[in-house]
Amino acid sequence: MELGKSKYERCTFSQVIAYSFPSCLGDKFSTGLLHDMSYSGLCLITRSLFQPGQEILVKSSLLSKATIAIVRWCCDVDNSKYKVGLEFKN
């Protein structure tokens, strides 16, 4: 799949969401800004650099429960801000 391309139609959002690494113990969450979302995943703007294939746990009021997502791509947007494409893990 091409960078930034989604199988499904995206809905644009501007909402703060929480994320964590599943391997972390406890409730240590960071926050990012939701850019858009589709049936298969979401795009997040954050100050953290992610590696493709990395798994993160995402919490948002838009999701029925905390969900694991896989980083598909990550690119530098501006001054240590990154745009991250995440695909929900089935």
Asked whether 15 and 35 are in contact (CB, 8 A), the reply is no
CA 86 from chain centre, in angstroms, equals 5
- Quick check: is 65 in a domain? yes
Domain that holds residue 72: 11-88
5 within some domain: no
Write down the pLDDT at residue 7: 64
Mean pLDDT of 11-26: 78
User: Does residue 6 belong to any structural domain of this protein?
Assistant: no
Q: Does residue 2 fall inside a structural domain?
A: no
Residue 75 pLDDT level (bands cut at 50, 70, 90): very high
Domain harbouring 83, CATH code: 2.40.10.220
Q: Report yes or no on 46 lying in a domain.
A: yes
Residues in CB range of 16: below 8 A, 6 or more apart: 31, 32, 33, 34
* Structural domains of the chain, count: 1
